[in-house]
């Protein structure tokens, strides 16, 4: 018998989840088992998530993406968020993170676990504030851990836990002035609780008890970066790096209890710093999978941050990041609607695939080869079927039909592809 995927891997057991991941990734089950044993690949799979279609995250695997959604006090449309989750699955998002902080949070969470085959993640500290319905400073350490247990019981596959901001790293933050201070919602709540109560971060102080809960249900811990930069000005500063060092120490402690780990990384960062940050995380956190929000590579584009994050995500993943959290055009502005969500997913999927080509992930280039083959043949239906968003591609095509229907209205009879094909077949070419 085994308690978690990592426990099984250490005992030489290949689980059904490892077999599924191996088939998806074109690897042998033994290769996956070995990587899980080393902590370089994770398979977030809560024992109570019966509808789960398992995915692997980590070294040598396809770059996966995560979609954030959930109900809040200002936007508490339960059915709309559920509809967004179903749409995210149809767009092949591998993970959905429920950030609900108001209302029927447990009912919504359980509905997701019951119906959604993607990995489900949560941030228990968000839920704690709404669940207990009392001032932040009045919540006890035990109550924070009780919420973690409820999420685990409900079938959540991974949880963001901000355990790296302790009294020491908080002191480092206060000593090193930032332009944008703390922008992590969970990090700011823990920091505020520590400052208001004078107590140590409960997730750090009672880390062993926390790990025992996660191990019982095989929940992967996503070690949150409470001190991630909220502007390119604050990237790779002493606060961020000090917390990362603590996360590396917490990673080893989790592995000792057979809890799978991934590390959350920066949100805002100039392009030229991204590769070094990936190397730093992999070194300090012993090769644990790296999960990044973007990174957003410039701060000037509200309304277009799905693009700024896709640029950063492609660079990060090409250099070894394993998991991209999508960013939508609504980032920094409002809760995204279903169209914003789609734009964010497509942008993140493009970034992930571009990185997989650069990383040499098995089968990544084959998709592009087939698309180029369809283009060479001017096979429009083939192109639509292969497109990452075939619906939008078809809509654009059909909105402007050329006289020569083999071509498009960009080039018409001057179509380079069609004319070169004709020349190579010794056929006449007419562009008049």
On whether both 110 and 254 belong to a single domain, the answer is yes
On whether both 169 and 218 belong to a single domain, the answer is yes
On whether both 168 and 195 belong to a single domain, the answer is yes
On whether both 301 and 416 belong to a single domain, the answer is no
The answer to whether 268 is a known ligand-binding residue is: yes
pLDDT of residue 75: 67
The answer to whether 162 is a known ligand-binding residue is: yes
The answer to whether 33 is a known ligand-binding residue is: no
Helices (H) and strands (E) counted in the chain, each on its own, are: 19, 10
N-term to C-term CA, the chain? 75
On whether both 62 and 119 belong to a single domain, the answer is yes
On whether both 53 and 171 belong to a single domain, the answer is yes
On whether both 155 and 226 belong to a single domain, the answer is yes
The answer to whether 411 is a known ligand-binding residue is: yes
Q: What is the CATH number of the domain that holds 319?
A: 3.20.20.540
The answer to whether 226 is a known ligand-binding residue is: yes
**β-pair type (41-42, 57-58):** antiparallel
Domain that holds residue 428: 401-432
On whether both 198 and 229 belong to a single domain, the answer is yes
Question: How many Å apart are CA 258 and CA 425, to the nearest integer?
Answer: 63
On whether both 380 and 277 belong to a single domain, the answer is no
Question: How many Å apart are CA 134 and CA 76, to the nearest integer?
Answer: 19
The answer to whether 217 is a known ligand-binding residue is: no
Between vectors from CA 371 to CA 365 and to CA 376, what angle results, nearest 5°? 125
The answer to whether 291 is a known ligand-binding residue is: yes
On whether both 332 and 388 belong to a single domain, the answer is no
The answer to whether 264 is a known ligand-binding residue is: yes
pLDDT of residue 304: 98
- pLDDT tens series, the chain, 432 aa: 899 999 999 999 999 999 999 999 999 999 999 999 999 999 999 999 999 999 999 999 999 999 999 887 776 777 888 999 999 999 999 999 999 887 788 999 999 999 999 999 999 999 998 888 889 999 999 999 999 999 999 999 999 999 999 999 999 999 999 999 999 999 999 999 999 999 999 999 999 999 999 999 999 999 999 999 999 999 999 999 999 999 999 999 999 999 999 999 999 999 999 999 999 999 999 999 999 999 999 999 999 999 999 999 999 999 999 999 999 999 999 999 999 999 999 999 999 999 999 999 999 999 999 999 999 999 999 999 999 999 999 999 999 998 888 899 999 989 999 999 999 999 988 887
On whether both 91 and 101 belong to a single domain, the answer is yes
The answer to whether 332 is a known ligand-binding residue is: yes
On whether both 281 and 380 belong to a single domain, the answer is no
The answer to whether 126 is a known ligand-binding residue is: yes
Domain count for the chain, please give it: 3
pLDDT of residue 36: 98
The answer to whether 97 is a known ligand-binding residue is: yes
Q: At 362, is the secondary structure helix, strand, or coil? A: coil
Please give the torsion angle defined by the CA atoms of residues 393, 395, 397 and 403, in that order, rounded to the nearest 10 degrees.
170
């Amino acid at each position: 018998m085994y308690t978690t995927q990592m426990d099984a891997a250490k005992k030489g057991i290949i689980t059904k989840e490892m077999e599924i991941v191996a088939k998806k990734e074109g690897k042998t089950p033994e290769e996956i088992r070995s990587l899980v044993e080393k902590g370089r690949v994770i398979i977030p799979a809560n024992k109570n998530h019966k509808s789960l279609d398992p995915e692997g995250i980590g070294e040598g695997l396809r770059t996966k993406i995560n979609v954030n959604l959930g109900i809040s006090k200002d936007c508490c449309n339960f059915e709309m968020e559920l509809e967004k989750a179903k749409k995210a699955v149809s767009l092949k998002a591998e993970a959905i993170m429920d950030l609900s902080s108001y209302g029927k949070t447990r009912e919504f969470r359980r509905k997701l676990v019951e119906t959604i085959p993607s990995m489900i993640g949560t941030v228990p500290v968000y839920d704690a504030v709404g669940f207990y319905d009392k001032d932040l400073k009045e919540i006890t350490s035990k109550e924070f851990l009780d919420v973690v247990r409820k999420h685990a019981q409900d079938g959540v596959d991974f949880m963001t836990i901000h355990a790296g901001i302790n009294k020491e790293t908080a002191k480092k933050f206060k000593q090193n002035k930032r332009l944008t201070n703390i922008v992590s919602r969970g990090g700011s709540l823990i920091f505020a609780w520590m400052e208001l109560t004078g107590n140590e971060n409960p997730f750090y102080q009672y880390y062993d008890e926390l790990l025992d809960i996660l191990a019982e249900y095989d929940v992967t811990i996503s070690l949150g970066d409470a001190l991630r930069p909220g502007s390119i000005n604050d990237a790779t500063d002493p606060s961020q790096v000090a917390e990362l060092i603590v996360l590396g120490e917490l990673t080893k402690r989790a592995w000792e209890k057979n809890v799978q780990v991934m590390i959350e990384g920066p949100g805002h960062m100039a392009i030229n710093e991204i590769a070094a940050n990936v190397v730093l995380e992999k070194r300090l956190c012993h090769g644990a999978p790296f999960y990044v929000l973007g990174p957003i590579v410039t701060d000037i584009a509200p309304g277009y941050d799905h693009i700024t994050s896709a640029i950063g995500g492609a660079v990060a993943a090409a250099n070894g990041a394993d998991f991209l959290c999508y960013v939508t055009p609504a980032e920094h502005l409002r809760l995204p609607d279903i169209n914003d969500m789609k734009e964010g997913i497509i942008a993140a999927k493009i970034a992930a695939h571009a990185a997989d080509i650069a990383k040499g992930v098995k089968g990544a280039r084959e998709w592009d080869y087939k698309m180029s083959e369809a283009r060479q043949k001017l096979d429009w239906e083939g192109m639509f079927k292969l497109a990452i968003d075939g619906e939008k591609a078809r809509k654009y095509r059909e909105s402007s039909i050329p006289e020569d229907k083999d071509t498009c209205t960009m080039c018409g009879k001057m179509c380079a592809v069609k004319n070169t094909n004709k020349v190579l077949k010794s056929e006449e070419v007419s562009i008049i």
